[in-house]
């Protein structure tokens, strides 16, 4: 094999496929990137057996072939090369020469027959979103999952398609985050649980452009995300998700409207007196025109007041301030609405159209 | 005590004195910042007993007094405040209220009598440098010290004043870094060993402006750096420094001139095949117009060629690439000169005026 591509193009492609290279594994081949120039296009592929990424590399093929290269060393070599065209050439016994201007690196690759190819997935009837939509949906929900939970279902995100509506849901037992997007047309109803790691990595690969599309394909055990040059295949999490709709409610006794930045800053201040070890509640005291936020710990106390518009009853309720702040941080609206029933019931932060819903359970306070 | 200052001014002052707050200590009072408004100016002071920093804070004093506040909590509170005037007010039992707009924090301070004041130092006959000069001298030598060495002398920097010449030296047994600056006038001859930590922190406090001065004062055991609003006092390291001049030599058999960026990039590439555990030598093969750089390890090998102008003999010599790169990184010249005697003798990277000298010992190669 002998191929040439610009350093910049190689860096871009490596940045994408490196997301599927595990940091720890017992299978050495998984640390490798497959460099494939057996057909007309150069492709890089990495596959940790749960998540696989393949991307097309703009470059020229002087001699067809393929090789597996250690991802870390390969990417470090490319990163340190001059900003010029880089040639990758294989010889006997997987000897690989990577050269650019006067710099020549020699490393030993691995047999490509050891490499597990991506599962082949039938690409029929895609669900189509813009890359902007999917990236935003992930960003606005992923923080609510429980990545290290023993219950696998909590480590993933729930994707539900009903007619022309797609919903992404993350929950961890204390809170729920839901983002809903209306698509251009109706699709077959589906529901899948996608690993959190997949969603995190996809979120970083998506361009975030309104003009770029991403096509979603589903099989029983896998899901495929197709972008212009890049394809991501992920295993799905087996199981039945929680009945999310039963956890939601539109009843309320207290509704407030508040400037997002004002409440965010105040809740952020409260985080000073809370920690993993010592989860002090943030107590909200909601009155006609003003909401007081108060937290006290052995270290000290904080009190802050935020202007609000309130409908309904006055209320005093406690929360883990981190859960409230996590939701506030991903909302783009300047003014937000929060709905409360009573001091024992969850609060809902949501817009009128319910394009986003954040539910947070309250905590006891004295 | 009751004082008011802008959030921005408080942040700036905290950023300076926090550098003398230890991350670990058995004396709780050392975690504190002394807020002193007993005289006409507000001062913040922190002192870890080796390094002490005092800075003047622009603000107003409504009621004189002083308090010690936990540095971490105090600075976090200020950081989270709105961008407005902040009032700090003490009450009974060291109760302290920190408020800004509607945000009110309450913490408990400590008795200021527990706080160790900075050692008082007679400010006579200062040695005067620009802040730019001292900052550059530190940046260009500090990397050569051995911060965790059992031999205390190696953990510090050697400052030597002879007439109108000031030299700063760092060495670790494998290399020496020397920066020399000529001052406007001659001063009394002096030599001191300053702790590396002091130099690191001073380097970050100095503005780096040519127009700002820093005055140096010396006592037997301490040194004081006086800037416009800030004073830094440091203990000195006891002992006699190495005879640096005896380690230097102007003899050479091979002299090369090379573009700094070209050699830096090539040496940086070589770092890929060297690690703390496996210190492979970088072998330089110096010929008439070209220098080859080569390194080989079990992982792979690299070879690079750099254009040079050579005077004298051809030479093959090995180095730890990190030591060469550390020196190259702090040199601002576009073209540099390197002097070699033979493959067993150190090389010297230095300019014609010897305003900087970097000596690196060679290593064996096969």
The domains of chain A are located at 2-114, 127-246, 248-360
DSSP conformational letter for B281: P
- State what percent of residues in chain A have pLDDT above 90: 96
- pLDDT band of residue B275 (cuts 50, 70, 90) is confident
pLDDT at B97: 98
Name the minimum distance, in Å, from the CA of B364 to any CA of chain A: 22
pLDDT at A366: 73
For B41-59, what is the mean pLDDT?
Answer: 97
CB contact under 8 A, B80 and A305: no
Q: A103, A258, A261, A268: best mutation site toward chain B, by most B Cβ within 10 Å?
A: A103
pLDDT at A288: 92
Residues A35-48 have pLDDT tens digits of 999 999 999 999 99
Q: What is the average pLDDT value for chain B, to the nearest integer?
A: 96
Gap between the terminal Cα atoms of chain B = 71
Query: Looking at the predicted structure, is the pLDDT value of residue A276 above 80?
Result: no
CB contact under 8 A, A107 and B300: yes
- Residue B35 CA, distance from chain mean position: 26
Count CB neighbours of B215 within 10 A.
15
A89 or B298, higher pLDDT: A89
User: Which residues does chain B have within 8 Å of residue A303's beta carbon, measured at their own beta carbons?
Assistant: 103-104
Using a CB–CB cut-off of 8 Å, the residues of A that contact B are 73, 76-77, 80-82, 102-108, 265-266, 268-269, 272, 299-306
Cα–Cα distance between B77 and B108 in angstroms, integer?
Answer: 13
User: Which residues does chain B have within 8 Å of residue A293's beta carbon, measured at their own beta carbons?
Assistant: none
pLDDT at A123: 93
For B321-340, what is the mean pLDDT?
Answer: 97
Q: Give me B340's structure tokens.
A: 């070699």
For A14-40, what is the mean pLDDT?
Answer: 95
Count CB neighbours of A239 within 10 A.
10
A106 touches A91 (CB < 8 A): no
CATH entry 3.10.150.10 includes domain A248-360:
yes
B208 or A326, higher pLDDT: A326
- State what percent of residues in chain B have pLDDT above 70: 100
pLDDT at B366: 73
Name the minimum distance, in Å, from the CA of B105 to any CA of chain A: 4
Q: What is the dihedral of CA B301, B307, B310, B315, to 10 degrees?
A: 10
DSSP states of A140-177 as a string?
TTGGGS-TT-SSGGGGEEEEEEEEEEEEEEEE-SSEEE
For A212-234, what is the mean pLDDT?
Answer: 97
CATH class of A127-246: alpha beta
- State what percent of residues in chain A have pLDDT above 70: 100
Which residue in A has a C-alpha nearest to residue B273's C-alpha? Answer: A73
Cα–Cα distance between B301 and B270 in angstroms, integer?
Answer: 8
Q: What is the average pLDDT value for chain A, to the nearest integer?
A: 96
Q: Which of B268, B267, B272, B353 is nearest to B318 (CA)?
A: B267
Query: Looking at the predicted structure, is the pLDDT value of residue A278 above 90?
Result: no
Residues B101-145 have pLDDT tens digits of 999 999 999 999 999 999 999 999 999 999 999 999 999 999 999
DSSP states of B62-109 as a string?
EE-EEEEEEHHHHHHHHHHS-SSEEEEEE-GGGEEEEEETTEEEEEE-
Name the minimum distance, in Å, from the CA of B299 to any CA of chain A: 6
Residues B63-93 have pLDDT tens digits of 999 999 999 999 999 999 999 999 999 999 9
CB contact under 8 A, A300 and B108: yes
pLDDT at A254: 98
pLDDT at B365: 87
Q: Which of B127, B159, B164 is nearest to B142 (CA)?
A: B159
Q: B262, B290, B295, B300: best mutation site toward chain A, by most A Cβ within 10 Å?
A: B300
pLDDT at A287: 96
Which one of A77, A301, A306 has the shortest CB-CB distance to B272? A77
Which residue in A has a C-alpha nearest to residue B100's C-alpha? Answer: A304
Residues A168-201 have pLDDT tens digits of 999 999 999 999 999 999 999 999 999 999 999 9
Cα–Cα distance between A259 and B208 in angstroms, integer?
Answer: 41
DSSP conformational letter for B113: G
For A79-101, what is the mean pLDDT?
Answer: 97
- pLDDT band of residue A138 (cuts 50, 70, 90) is very high
Query: Looking at the predicted structure, is the pLDDT value of residue A271 above 90?
Result: yes
- pLDDT band of residue B187 (cuts 50, 70, 90) is very high
pLDDT at A208: 87
For B17-44, what is the mean pLDDT?
Answer: 95
The dotted CATH code for B2-114 is: 3.10.150.10
- pLDDT band of residue A294 (cuts 50, 70, 90) is very high
For A331-355, what is the mean pLDDT?
Answer: 97
pLDDT at A274: 87
User: Which residues does chain A have within 8 Å of residue B266's beta carbon, measured at their own beta carbons?
Assistant: 103
For A332-342, what is the mean pLDDT?
Answer: 97
For B140-158, what is the mean pLDDT?
Answer: 97
Q: Where are the alpha helices (DSSP H) in chain A?
A: 7-17, 71-80, 131-139, 196-205, 244-247, 260-270, 321-330
pLDDT at B240: 96
Query: Looking at the predicted structure, is the pLDDT value of residue B276 above 80?
Result: no
ipTM computed for the complex: 0.90
* This prediction's pTM: 0.92
Q: Which of A44, A43, A50, A55 is nearest to A22 (CA)?
A: A50
Q: Do domains B127-246 and B248-360 have the same CATH topology?
A: yes
Residues B121, B126, B127, B132, CA torsion sign:
positive
Which residue in A has a C-alpha nearest to residue B304's C-alpha? Answer: A103
Q: Find all residues with CB under 8 Å of B298, minimum gap 6, and list them.
A: none
CB contact under 8 A, A300 and B266: no
Q: Where are the alpha helices (DSSP H) in chain B?
A: 7-17, 71-80, 131-139, 196-205, 244-247, 260-270, 321-330
């Amino acid at each position: 094999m002998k191929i040439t591509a610009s350093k910049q193009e190689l860096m871009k492609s490596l940045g994408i496929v490196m997301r599927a290279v595990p940091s720890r594994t017992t299978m050495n081949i998984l640390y490798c990137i497959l460099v494939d120039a057996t057909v007309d296009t150069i492709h890089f592929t990495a596959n940790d057996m749960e998540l696989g990424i393949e991307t097309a590399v703009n470059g020229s093929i002087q001699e067809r072939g393929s090789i597996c290269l250690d991802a870390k060393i390969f990417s470090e070599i490319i990163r340190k090369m001059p900003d010029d065209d880089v040639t990758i050439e294989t010889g006997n016994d997987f000897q690989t020469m990577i050269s650019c201007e006067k710099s020549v690196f020699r490393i030993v690759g691995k047999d490509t027959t050891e490499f597990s190819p991506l599962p082949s997935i039938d690409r029929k009837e895609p669900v189509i979103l813009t890359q902007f939509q999917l990236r935003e949906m992930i960003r606005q929900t992923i923080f609510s999952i429980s990545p290290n939970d023993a219950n696998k279902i909590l480590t993933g995100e729930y994707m539900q398609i009903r007619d022309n509506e797609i919903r992404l849901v993350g929950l961890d037992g204390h809170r729920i985050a839901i983002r809903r997007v209306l698509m251009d047309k109706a699709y077959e109803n589906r529901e899948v649980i996608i690993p959190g790691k997949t969603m995190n990595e996809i979120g970083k690969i998506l361009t975030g452009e309104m003009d770029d599309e991403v096509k979603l394909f589903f099989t029983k055990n896998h899901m495929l995300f197709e972008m212009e040059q890049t394809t991501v295949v992920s295993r799905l999490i087996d199981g039945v998700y929680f009945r999310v709709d039963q956890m939601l409610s539109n009843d309320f006794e207290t509704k407030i409207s508040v400037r997002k930045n004002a409440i965010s800053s105040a809740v952020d201040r409260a985080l000073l007196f809370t920690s993993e070890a010592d989860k002090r509640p943030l107590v909200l005291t909601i009155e006609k025109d003003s909401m007081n936020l108060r937290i006290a710990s052995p270290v000290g106390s904080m009190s802050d007041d935020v202007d609000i518009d309130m409908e309904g009853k006055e209320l005093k309720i406690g929360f883990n301030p981190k859960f409230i702040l996590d939701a506030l941080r991903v909302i783009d609206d300047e003014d937000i609405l929060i709905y409360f029933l009573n001091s024992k019931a969850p609060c809902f932060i949501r817009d009128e159209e319910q394009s986003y819903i954040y539910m947070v359970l309250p905590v006891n306070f004295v």
